[in-house]
Structure 1
Amino acid sequence: MGAMSSKRIVEAAGGILYRHNEHTGQVEVCVVHRPKYDDWSWPKGKLEANESHRHAAVREIGEETGHDVQLGAWLGDVEYPLAAEGRKARHKVAGDGTVKHVAYWMATLLDRAHARLLAPAFGPVHRADADEINGVVWLTIDQARKKLTHSTDRDILALFVDRLEEGADHAATLLLVRHAKAESRKQWKGTDAARPITPNGAVAAYALDRELACYAPTRLASSPWVRCQQTMEMLSWQTGMTVHLVDQLTEDAFAADPQAAWDTFATLIDDALDGGTTGAVCMHRPVIGGMFEHLRPMCATKTLAKTLIAKTPYMPTGNALAILFIRDADGAPRIIDIQKVAPIVY
């Protein structure tokens, strides 16, 4: 047998923070300078203990640029030898076998007031020291391509341009949440509508808030049944946002009139697209399956459609999907990205 690989992976995350120049209409991206390496790169950094890649991306972009941000479409990831950090020719350095893996998202500026609202759920973001980041500039795509020090960063820029061509800079996000683990139907003596989440389910619901906050939801909705309400209540309490109860999304209402449930969900999609905002909605397993049936044909690719599992349980309890929509040439919603969102419980 051959020797086992000694490869060790250091996990990191970051993103391309972008905006539309209000005078020229051009897309501009934010690039940072690191004095330690004298390089220009995307804002990024290592994951902290018990932190997801998406949370690290938002935190690191915020720390290194000084801007409050929210995540958009997924871009991709890169790997290179850790010993090559800061080097122009990263792949020519072997080092000790330790590899740095960096995951990247698109990110947009977030209103400061809403960032403060989300802070109890997301956690603190501290500005990077000057010896870590001493330059932050906004550049056009062409300027950034010339300014970036590393070829891997230019690779991510190419993925960003591909996303722009899809219309991702005009996408709206809807967070579809499956309620956290609930008490067993067999053991619960009350009505199904009153069946609560378990203590472990409550932990997952609390941990999920930190992940949902990365997408900066502005509107919370839920089935009025207790297990869904309880899943969303912590985020509501932390942010002060009201949870809007949607009668058509209970299990009984869906069974009685699946079309009415879909029409209601479709309205939430339209609201997100028309308002350019992020919504979060919590529902039940069978309702999710029904929504998936309508969502699959809206996916831009077959690969995306396969993300919407076609058989029960569809997705784990206490998990969510971040679904990014645009409008096609006919004005109909189209899905260009689906991200699985899971809580980290420790």
Structure 2
Amino acid sequence: MSPETAVYAAGAVCWRIIDGRMHVLLIHRTVHGDVTIPKGKVDPGESLSQTAVREIQEETGLEIALGVPLGVSRYLMPSGREKVVHYWAGEVSDHALQHSTFKPNGEVAALEWVTIKRARNYLTYAPDVEILENFAALVEQGVTSTFALLLVRHGKALARGSWKGQDTARPLAARGVAQAADLADTLSAWRPERIYSSPAIRCVTTVRPLSAATSMKVRLKPGISEDAWAAGDADIRRVIGKRIRAGRSAVLCSHGPVLPEIIREISLATATPLGSYVADAAELEPGGFSVVHVSKTNSGSGVIAIETHAPRV
């Protein structure tokens, strides 16, 4: 099946603890008369992460932050086209519940919180059950509640040879500016609570649109700059240690040569065995990013998942 004919969609297994037991949210669709996991098709220009949080909000009235990726479902639609659906976990906070805007409508007739055991029997479609089982595996491991460290390589910058000033002042190229704008909406899907950046202009400019969109200031961290790394003065361990202890989702924008050390320090701080999948997360193109998921309750249990995203621009 060629990618041109596929229909892409995204969604999430929304979860919360009720009376000490894990519950997930299912939707009863009006027209189809079925029971599914919330999801929907990608709108033009959207990233998959944007689609997931938008569709959850539209179908359930809930605002969520994306958690651990749960896999991809592929199946044929009645038209014969392949549908490819990406899923994440999504914890639903008390605040989100209190501010839910859901009303029964022409698309969704009802919402229902059920246990995982009951959800297995309620869900209409086998691909949904497979995604539910992936989530159930996280529950069994006790690692459902997570935070994300979003590691961003700055956008495409002007070539060093064409820039006459100090390297730290080297700006983004036109493509890098476009990448920065695209990253703002995409990274927001994980609801970061802090933005940290190397002081280099190309890094700060990369996260400035995200800062404007979220009203969070960019906090400069010389310890993750390329200059500090090249001089042997990088302070990556301290920076990462604080982020792991804080247990809050955060963006860290740095440089290609520095990212492998950042990944290494995250691995060491979480007792994660160093392997190729960890190293691969640092192999980013300009404007690309990796999302490293860590348990909120037991950071020493290792990195729970890593997802890597190439630049879309």
Give the structure-1-normalised TM-score.
Answer: 0.81
For each residue in 1:268-318, what CA deviation from the matched residue of structure 2 results, as whole angstroms up to 9, or x when unmatched? 2222x2xxx211111111111222333456446846325335xxxx21111
- Matched residue, 1:291: 262
Given the alignment of the two structures, is residue 11 of structure 1 paired with residue 14 of structure 2, yes or no?
A: no
Gaps of 5+ in 2: none
Distance 2:297 2:23 in 1: 24
For each residue in 1:43-74, what CA deviation from the matched residue of structure 2 results, as whole angstroms up to 9, or x when unmatched? 11111112222211111111111101110001
For each residue in 1:211-257, what CA deviation from the matched residue of structure 2 results, as whole angstroms up to 9, or x when unmatched? 10000011111111111111111111222111111121111212333
Given the alignment of the two structures, is residue 55 of structure 1 paired with residue 50 of structure 2, yes or no?
A: yes
Question: SS of 2:149's equivalent?
Answer: strand
For each residue in 1:96-150, what CA deviation from the matched residue of structure 2 results, as whole angstroms up to 9, or x when unmatched? 532222111101236869xx9xxxxxxxxx9787111011111111221222122
Shift of 1:6: 11
- Matched residue, 1:100: 83
Distance 1:97 1:299 in 2: 43
- Matched residue, 1:198: 173
Kindly tell me the number of residue pairs found equivalent between the two proteins. 309
Q: How does 1:63-102 map to 2 (within 5 A)?
A: 63-83=58-78, 96-102=79-85
Would the aligned equivalents of 1:7 and 1:97 in 2 still touch at CA under 8 Å? no
Choose from 305, 323, 334 the match for 2:292: 323
Letter in 1 for 2:152: V
For each residue in 1:170-198, what CA deviation from the matched residue of structure 2 results, as whole angstroms up to 9, or x when unmatched? 22111111111111111111111111111
Give the structure-2-normalised TM-score.
Answer: 0.89
Question: SS of 1:196's equivalent?
Answer: coil
Distance 2:206 2:94 in 1: 26
Letter in 2 for 1:308: A
Question: SS of 1:56's equivalent?
Answer: helix
For each residue in 1:54-95, what CA deviation from the matched residue of structure 2 results, as whole angstroms up to 9, or x when unmatched? 211111111111101110001011122211xxxxxxxxxxxx
Given the alignment of the two structures, is residue 252 of structure 1 paired with residue 227 of structure 2, yes or no?
A: yes
Letter in 1 for 2:127: T
Given the alignment of the two structures, is residue 180 of structure 1 paired with residue 151 of structure 2, yes or no?
A: no
Shift of 1:324: 0.4
Distance 1:161 1:300 in 2: 24
Question: SS of 1:138's equivalent?
Answer: strand
Distance 2:211 2:94 in 1: 19
Gaps of 5+ in 1: 84-95, 117-125
Choose from 176, 181, 190 the match for 1:215: 190
Change (3 A) 1:333 1:231: farther
Would the aligned equivalents of 2:263 and 2:279 in 1 still touch at CA under 8 Å? no
